[in-house]
């Protein structure tokens, strides 16, 4: 290595990083890395100490992208300038690298930390983009005028209001596009704002368009920024909101679920007719009362749920029971009501009567339990083989068929095959694999080896099913047939 003390004295004082690099590799014009002959203090502060005498790119993935441009500089002598990211998290930096080939073929690379510059550019561009998007998406018309009332910028809403495209408006006098006469309020007020340098607000009626405008003119840079709000549309919107409210009320009253609101004290402030009817009461009997007043026995649970919703300000779903002569089970979804400031002033609820569904679920659970008992007594179990994943799902009584105290609900096909007798294993695996080729029925008769060494016979009967155009599942039953008339063990395929 050259003595860097004299050669790079000035670079040692450079606040930017400086590296003297020598191409490494069989061909100098196509190096595989660069050896660092010298790194000034600023470079080591940026990239880390101990750079001199070491390959620069190896072990530094962030610098891998510099190999190509620096190789170009070495081979052609052209100066290159590229940026790269260095570090992670809060320590992440943006670095600009400028590379020049020196007379002896080495590279001189200057590293400038441009993090703040890049951040400023990004922030400025993002701010300009946000402001441009905001102006463009404003529901109100926006015009930027120069001192001669010529249009310098117009958003989409201004195009719609004035009836001209943006290209037709730009550079044109507003008064050429504005249909009202010279004595219009808009003309007089804009002239006033421009002459006084003060913001003016006023209303204007466009007789030709049959609309009312609320206008604001703000002096800026020798011209005006003009905002035109179409309050006619706002009135139409208010009418639409009233119609929407009426529609909501109609939907509320037509819904078969209970829909209601409560204040912070737990009093019902609104409930639909279906909700009151499901409670066995009228709307008038419910509104203004709390659950404790309506059904004291169940109020503790419902009140606890209401408090949880108000405390966490989230939407929760609960099952709530109502005792009495006609017991009911409700599936209730509750959330908070907020005003425009975000202040919670109550809660809403939608409750569905799931009494019949719960009864059906309980009956199904009992039937499933009886079925599993019957299967267990008959030394049978059900299985579901998902072919793409090679995963078997067993019913809860499957463990006994394999001489085990318990069996996971799911296991791989390979685990199941490991229990099959070695002489039968290949045939079982091949037959199950062929299930993926076409839907149909499969019957297998084979032996399994239990953990204690005992050998038992099993019969598998299943049907493969197609899903999305391909065989996805094999559903069937597995039986222990050891005690039946013994036959020749082995794989048997049904005709």
CA 124, CA 39: separation in Å to the nearest integer?
34
Confidence of residue 372 (pLDDT cuts 50, 70, 90): low
Percentage of the chain beyond pLDDT 70 is 89
**What number is the average pLDDT over the span 456-468?**
83
pLDDT digits (tens, 9 = 90+) for 257-302: 889 999 999 999 999 998 888 888 899 999 999 999 988 877 888 8
CA 363, CA 185: separation in Å to the nearest integer?
77
CA 376, CA 378: separation in Å to the nearest integer?
5
Three-class secondary structure of residue 477 per DSSP:
strand
Express the helix, strand and coil content of the chain in percent, nearest 5 each. Answer: 40, 35, 30
Beta strands in 264-312 (DSSP E): 268-271
The pTM of the full predicted model, rounded to 2 decimals, is 0.35
pLDDT of residue 493: 41
**What number is the average pLDDT over the span 395-409?**
84
Confidence of residue 415 (pLDDT cuts 50, 70, 90): very high
Backbone angles phi, psi at 389, to 5 degrees: -90, -15
The dihedral sign for the CA sequence 235, 237, 239, 242: negative
CA 231 vs CA 139, 204, 214, 224, 276: distances in Å: 11, 10, 7, 21, 41
239 pLDDT above the threshold of 90: no
CA 85, CA 220: separation in Å to the nearest integer?
40
Average model confidence (pLDDT) across the chain:
84
CB contact at 8 A, 317 and 331: yes
Confidence of residue 446 (pLDDT cuts 50, 70, 90): very high
CA 390 vs CA 175, 384, 414, 415: distances in Å: 76, 10, 8, 10
Domains delineated in the chain = 4-114 (3.30.450.20), 138-233 (3.30.450.20), 257-356 (3.30.450.20), 375-480 (3.30.450.20)
Burial class (CB in 10 A: 0-12, 13-18, 19+), 202: middle
pLDDT of residue 346: 95
């Amino acid at each position: 290595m050259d003595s860097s003390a004299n050669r790079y004295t000035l670079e040692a004082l450079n606040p930017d990083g400086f590296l003297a690099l020598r191409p490494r590799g069989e061909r100098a014009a196509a190096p595989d890395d660069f050896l660092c002959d010298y790194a000034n203090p600023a470079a080591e502060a940026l990239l880390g100490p101990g750079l001199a005498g070491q390959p620069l790119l190896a072990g530094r993935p962030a610098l891998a992208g510099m190999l190509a441009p620096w190789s170009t500089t070495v081979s052609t002598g052209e100066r290159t300038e590229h940026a790269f990211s260095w570090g992670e998290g809060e320590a992440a930096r943006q670095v600009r690298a400028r590379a020049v080939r020196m007379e002896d073929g080495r590279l001189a690379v200057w590293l400038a930390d441009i993090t703040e510059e890049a951040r400023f550019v990004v922030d400025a561009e993002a701010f300009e983009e946000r402001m441009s998007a905001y102006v463009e998406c404003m529901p109100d018309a926006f015009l930027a005028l120069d001192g001669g009332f010529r249009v310098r910028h117009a958003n989409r809403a201004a195009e719609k209001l004035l009836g001209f495209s943006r290209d037709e408006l730009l550079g044109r006098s507003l008064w050429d596009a504005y249909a009202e006469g010279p004595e219009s309020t808009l003309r007089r007020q804009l002239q006033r704002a421009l002459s006084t340098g003060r913001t003016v607000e006023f209303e204007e009626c466009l007789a030709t368009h049959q609309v009312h405008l609320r206008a604001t003119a703000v002096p800026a840079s020798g011209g005006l920024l003009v905002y035109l709000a179409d309050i006619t549309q706002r009135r139409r919107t208010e009418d639409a909101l009233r119609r929407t409210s009426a529609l909501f009320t109609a939907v509320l009253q037509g819904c078969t679920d209970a829909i209601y609101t409560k204040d912070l004290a737990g009093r019902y402030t609104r409930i639909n007719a279906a909700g009151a009817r499901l409670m066995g009461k009228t709307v008038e009997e419910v509104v203004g009362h709390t659950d404790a007043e309506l059904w004291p026995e169940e109020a503790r649970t419902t009140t606890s749920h209401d408090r949880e919703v108000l405390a966490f300000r989230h939407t929760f779903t609960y099952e709530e029971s109502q005792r009495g002569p006609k017991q009911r089970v409700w599936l209730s979804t509750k959330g908070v009501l907020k005003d425009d400031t975000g202040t919670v002033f109550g809660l809403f609820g939608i409750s569905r009567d799931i009494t019949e569904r719960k009864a059906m679920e309980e009956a199904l659970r009992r039937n499933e339990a009886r079925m599993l008992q019957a299967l267990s007594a008959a030394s049978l179990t059900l299985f579901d083989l998902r072919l793409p994943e090679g995963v078997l799902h067993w019913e809860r009584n499957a463990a006994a068929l394999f001489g085990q105290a318990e069996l996971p609900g799911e296991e791989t096909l390979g685990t199941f095959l490991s229990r099959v007798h070695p002489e039968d294993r290949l045939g079982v695996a091949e037959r199950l694999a062929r299930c993926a080729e076409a839907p149909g029925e499969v019957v297998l008769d084979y032996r399994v080896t239990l953990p204690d060494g005992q050998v038992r016979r099993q019969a598998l009967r299943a049907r493969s099913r197609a899903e999305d155009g391909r065989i996805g599942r094999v559903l069937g039953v597995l039986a222990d047939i050891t005690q039946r008339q013994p036959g020749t063990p082995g794989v048997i395929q049904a005709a």
